[in-house]
Amino acid sequence: MRQDEALDALERARAMDTKVRARGRWYAVYGIGYGLMSLVVVLTMGLTGTAMGASAAMAIVAVCLTALSVYQARQPVKPLGYARLHAWGILLWGAVYGLTVVAGMYFFPQVTAWWVPMAVLSALPTSVAGYVALRRSRSTA
């Protein structure tokens, strides 16, 4: 194999990588969708402070998680590294969500100054993961 043939093959590999990574931008929709779900759920649960509010929040979670799971399962490409990105996003979200709900119920029931910023914070981990996925899908390197 000659030097120019090797360069040509490497260029082809790079082109394939770019094409495949571009098909990974679906994760941005998933991550940001998950973040929005968290925002709505935390606000519903925290600001209503009633059993009805908690039930409504759980219904929103059930509908959104089903929709997001179906959306994820239908994607034809799972780009490399997304499983780890997803795991980190969900792990951080779980920690923030758990802290928000537990501390909120005991110490800040219906306190807007607690629930609103924490709802925004709980939306960040998966949204950031989605943004990272979007950046990766656009990268040509």
Partner 1 sequence: MSHPRSRLDDVIHAPVRFSIVAALASATEIEFRVLRDTVEITDSALSKQITVLEKAGYVRVSKFSVGRRTRTSLLLTPEGRTAFEQHVRALREIASGETVRIPGTE
User: Where on the chain is the footprint of partner 1 (CB under 8 A)?
Assistant: 1-3, 6-7, 9-10, 12-13, 16-17, 19-21, 23-24, 73-74, 76-80, 82-83
Q: What is the C-alpha separation between 40 and 134, in angstroms, rounded?
A: 23
Cβ closest to partner 1, residue 2 vs residue 51: 2
| Shortest distance, position 20 Cβ to partner 1, whole Å | 4
Contacts of 31 (CB under 8 A, 6+ apart): 89, 126, 127, 128, 129, 130, 131, 133
Cβ closest to partner 1, residue 46 vs residue 79: 79
| Shortest distance, position 69 Cβ to partner 1, whole Å | 12
Q: Which of 3, 38, 51, 17 is nearest to 129 (CA)?
A: 38
Cβ closest to partner 1, residue 42 vs residue 86: 86
Burial of 61 (0-12, 13-18, 19+ CB in 10 A): middle
| Shortest distance, position 49 Cβ to partner 1, whole Å | 41
DSSP-assigned states of every residue in 109-127: TT-HHHHHHHHHHHHHHHH
| Shortest distance, position 67 Cβ to partner 1, whole Å | 15
For the record, the structure tokens of 137 come out as 């899908």
Cβ closest to partner 1, residue 50 vs residue 84: 84
